[in-house]
Amino acid sequence: MSVNVSNTACLDTEPLEKILASIPNAGPNDLVPILQQVQKAYGYLPKSILMAVSDRTGISASQIYGVATFYEQFYLEPHGRHTIRCCRGTACHVKGSPNIINAIQQALGIEPNETTEDMRYTFETVACLGTCFLAPVMMINNDYYGHLNARKIKSILERYA
Ligand code: FES
């Protein structure tokens, strides 16, 4: 089952005030560093905080959302402590990535782009991890696991339990 956390809850704006105070006269060119700091402070980019960024800087909400959704580093929903990225690219697909993806789903009880209820894991699939020679491959946080088969998945995940 996936987590379902409201993205519109009232949040403490003090971290945001500190971020904006550190970037006087913030404009569109400052959006990436602002969003990076917001994510670091809140763990993701809460909707209410993004709207406050828009109000305080005059940068339009559509521009903020454009940047927030363009870069993979930004999350618009609460994120788990560990991020699993499983490759679904062509090289990995022909070497069995559908079985790997299925094994991860079975082990965690979530679909791609979901987070476990205990906020431990977020599961994503990506087009290519740039390590096709390791196919099929996944990453957990910054660790690569290559030449995978479905039988290895449970024990790998348990290392992050
Ligand atoms: S296709 Fe999987 S790492 Fe490139």
Does residue 89's CB lie within 6 angstroms of at least one atom of ligand 1? yes
- Show the domain range for 31: 14-70
Q: How many domains does the chain have?
A: 2
Q: Is the pLDDT of residue 2 over 50?
A: no
* CA torsion, ordered 71, 76, 81, 86, to nearest 10 deg: -50
Regarding whether 135 and 105 lie in a shared domain, the answer is: yes
Average pLDDT over residues 33-48: 94
> Which atom belonging to ligand 1 lies closest to the Cα atom of 136?
2
Domain annotation covers residue 4: no
Does residue 46's CB lie within 6 angstroms of at least one atom of ligand 1? no
Regarding whether 153 and 115 lie in a shared domain, the answer is: yes
Last residue within a domain, chosen from 70, 92, 111: 70
Backbone angles phi and psi of 109, in degrees to 5: 70, 30
Domain annotation covers residue 123: yes
Q: How confident is the model at residue 72 (pLDDT cuts 50, 70, 90)?
A: confident
Does residue 96's CB lie within 6 angstroms of at least one atom of ligand 1? no
Closest CA to 113 of 39, 104, 135, 95: 104
* Start-to-end CA span in the chain (Å): 17
3-state secondary structure at position 143? strand
Percentage of residues in the chain having pLDDT higher than 70: 94
Quickly list H helices, 58-149.
61-70, 90-94, 97-108
Mutation to probe ligand 1, out of 95, 124, 125, 128 (largest number of atoms < 8 A from CB): 128
Q: How far is the CA of 20 from the centre of ligand 1 (A)?
A: 39
DSSP string, 93-113: HHTTHHHHHHHHHHHHT--TT
Domain annotation covers residue 77: no
Regarding whether 93 and 65 lie in a shared domain, the answer is: no
Domain annotation covers residue 5: no
Domain annotation covers residue 9: no
3-state secondary structure at position 60? coil
How many other β-carbons are positioned within 10 Å of the β-carbon of residue 91? 17
Q: What is the CATH number of the domain that holds 126?
A: 3.40.30.10
Domain annotation covers residue 33: yes
Regarding whether 91 and 132 lie in a shared domain, the answer is: yes
Whole-prediction pTM: 0.72
